[in-house]
């Protein structure tokens, strides 16, 4: 997927009538930091997703506009990407770890604060739906590896090979070049994190990924970890993350953003602060990417990232829009 094109200016025109622009007011030591207004009119239902996952927000919107629940919307949206073999960052077709095994992480969280997740799960195309089963059918919240796979099969999910020929070829090429080391850079990721508010005004979220490409076997990132890749509080809003999971985990990014919104920050301001926590604690920040998306209970959203090139797909009032995120390091 070509999501790395940095467009010089953010466009908010797609927001149409919904725009009540509000420029984020955080100050920063980085004078070149790019600010982008990304706060829309408070209209629900709404769904937002990381990156240009337009097929996912469309599927989620179809659920919401029929009066469906936010939890169904985010699950259906994520499933679209998990099934898309051309998407090498999620589900079937996802890039494998450095040993050539595709291992998936996913989670889901509902309006009541219930959460379910699977990590390092192989051979199952729809980890988001397995995560939902963990949430609804077990006394636990997180299943890992073989246990998660076994549970999925017991729940009626079919085992399937996830490594496609294209992903295998790319991995074989990587192996020659990288001497079998895991590499962390800003290109080898792209999780889908989704947030939705339904007609009743309730919020839910989900996040699903194959993780960093060519990661070490057994590595688990932020995406399925509550508070890091995703957090929902139905009295405040929700947040989700993409990018270098280790950094999101260390700062408990999504939880931080929701708590900042609870204290009165806008979703945009909260995402910016989430990024700044990482930047201020890791001098290496120029070498990786993290992007956040937040949605408050009023239906206002925000997004922010370390490097330019990130953006979000939004569906609201029957209309789909791509919103480019502001970034801490603008592309020069
Ligand atoms: N956050 C994911 C992880 O660290 C990577 C991604 O965004 O694709 O596993």
DSSP state of 332: -
CA 265 from chain centre, in angstroms, equals 21
Q: What is the pLDDT of residue 17?
A: 23
At residue 276, the 3 state secondary structure works out as: helix
**219-221-225 Cα angle (round to 5):** 125
Tell me whether residue 103 is one of the annotated catalytic residues.
no
Instruction: Work out the average pLDDT over 290-315.
Output: 94
pLDDT band at 307 (very low <50, low <70, confident <90, very high): confident
- 238 Cβ below 6 A of ligand 1: no
Tens digits of residue pLDDT in 271-299: 999 999 999 999 999 888 999 999 999 99
How many CB atoms neighbour CB 271 within 10 A?
32
Cα(187)–Cα(48) distance, integer angstroms: 22
| pLDDT for residue 246 is more than 90 | yes
Task: Tell me the per-residue pLDDT of 41-74, one tens digit each, with 9 for 90 and over.
Answer: 678 999 999 999 999 999 999 999 999 999 999 9
Measured in angstroms, how far is the CA atom of residue 306 from the centroid of ligand 1?
A: 14
Considering 69, 88, 191, 251, which one is annotated as catalytic?
Answer: 191
Query: Helical H runs in the chain?
Result: 54-65, 70-83, 127-137, 145-154, 165-178, 245-251, 253-262, 267-281
Whole-structure pTM value: 0.88
pLDDT tens per residue, range 171-192: 999 888 876 666 555 555 679 9
Confidence (pLDDT) at 326: 93
Q: Tell me the CA–centroid distance for residue 193 and ligand 1, in Å.
A: 10
The CA-to-CA distance between both ends of the chain, in Å, stands at 22
Percent of the chain with pLDDT over 90: 79
Give residue 180's pLDDT: 64
SS3 195: strand
198, two tokens = 């339904």
Mutate to test the pocket of ligand 1, among 224, 243, 289, 292 (most ligand atoms within 8 A of CB): 243
Q: Is the dihedral of CA 324, 328, 329, 330 positive or negative?
A: positive
For 299, phi then psi, to 5°, come to 95, 10
Q: What is the pLDDT of residue 27?
A: 34
């Amino acid at each position: 997927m070509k999501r790395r094109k940095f467009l010089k200016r953010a466009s908010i025109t797609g927001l149409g009538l919904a725009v009540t622009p509000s420029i984020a007011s955080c100050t920063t030591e980085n004078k070149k930091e790019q600010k982008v207004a990304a706060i829309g009119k408070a209209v629900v239902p709404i769904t937002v997703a990381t990156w240009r996952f337009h097929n996912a927000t469309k599927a989620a919107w179809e659920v919401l506009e029929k009066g469906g629940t936010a939890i169904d919307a985010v699950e259906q949206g994520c499933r679209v990407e998990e099934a898309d073999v051309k998407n090498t960052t999620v589900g079937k077709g996802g890039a494998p770890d450095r040993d050539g095994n595709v291992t998936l992480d996913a989670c889901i969280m509902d309006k009541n604060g219930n959460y379910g997740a699977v990590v390092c799960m192989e051979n199952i195309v729809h980890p988001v739906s397995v995560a939902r089963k963990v949430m609804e059918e077990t006394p636990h919240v997180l299943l890992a590896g073989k246990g998660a796979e076994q549970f999925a099969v017991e729940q009626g999910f079919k085992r399937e090979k996830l490594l496609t020929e294209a992903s295998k070829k790319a991995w074989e090429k990587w192996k020659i070049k990288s001497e079998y080391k895991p590499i962390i850079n800003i290109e080898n990721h792209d999780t889908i994190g989704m947030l939705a508010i339904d007609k009743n005004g309730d919020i839910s979220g989900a996040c699903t990924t194959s993780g960093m490409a060519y990661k070490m076997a057994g590595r688990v990132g932020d995406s399925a970890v509550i508070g890091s890749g995703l957090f929902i509080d139905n009295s405040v809003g929700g947040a989700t993350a993409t990018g270098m999971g280790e950094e999101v985990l260390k700062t408990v990014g999504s939880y931080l953003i929701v708590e900042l919104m609870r204290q009165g920050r806008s979703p945009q301001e909260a995402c910016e602060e989430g990024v700044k926590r990482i930047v201020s604690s890791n001098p290496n920040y120029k070498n990786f990417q993290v992007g956040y998306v937040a949605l408050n209970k009023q239906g206002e959203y925000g997004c922010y990232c370390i490097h330019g090139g990130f953006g979000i797909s939004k569906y609201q009032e029957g209309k789909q829009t791509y919103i480019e995120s502001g970034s801490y390091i603008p592309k020069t």
